Amino acid sequence: MYELATKIEARLWELDKNLELSYEKIFDIICQEYHLNANSIEKALNCKCPFALTGFISELESQELSTYEYR
């Protein structure tokens, strides 16, 4: 999951350069782009922080990721 977390983090920094985007909006964009279920992840994290998202993804085992992916 480290590779996915690294890709997400790179995208996070790209989006963070846009001053018009809130962290919640960045969270939603990243989840949509990587086919992640934003609602499930928000419940697990208890927030919509894109920085917490990268840490969360990097800690998941590959079989756990499917719980948070759209199919």
23-30: average pLDDT:
95
What is the percent of the chain where pLDDT is above 70?
Answer: 97
User: How many whole angstroms from its chain centre is CA 61?
Assistant: 15
Long-range contacts of 26-32 (CB under 8 A, 24+ apart): 26/50, 27/53
Q: What is the mean pLDDT of residues 22-51?
A: 95
Q: How confident is the model at residue 32 (pLDDT cuts 50, 70, 90)?
A: very high
**pTM of the shown model:** 0.86
Give the residue-averaged pLDDT of 26-40. 95
* Domain definitions of the chain by residue range: 2-65
Q: Mean pLDDT, the chain, as a whole number?
A: 90
